Amino acid sequence: MAHKTHVAIRLRGRENPVVVQYSTFCRRTRGGVWGSGCGFPILMCKTSTGKMLPVDPTPGLDGEYTVHWETCPKERHVPEAPQDG
């Protein structure tokens, strides 16, 4: 899963590009437990404000990339926090 690092890419729905830092796999940490992710390849990218975003490694037909949490099949199964009231 080699991908060029320190390359600016455009994200769908975002004005500023992000910079690819490294390639990895989706394995989110939830409650201190590793392995709750989907296992798909992702790119970790840094925003202009210094935050890291997981991004799908393949651009769409428009040439823009998608933030991984919009496509991750496991993201839909994360339980919501209980509501007070």
pLDDT at 6 over 70: yes
- What are 21's two structure tokens? 């830092």
What is the pTM for the complete model shown?
A: 0.74
For residue 63, pLDDT beyond 80? yes
CA–CA separation, 38 and 19 (whole Å): 23
| Rounded Cα gap, residues 48 and 78, in angstroms | 28
Identify the bridge partners of residue 54 per DSSP, sorted by sequence position: 44
Identify which has the larger pLDDT, 39 or 76.
39
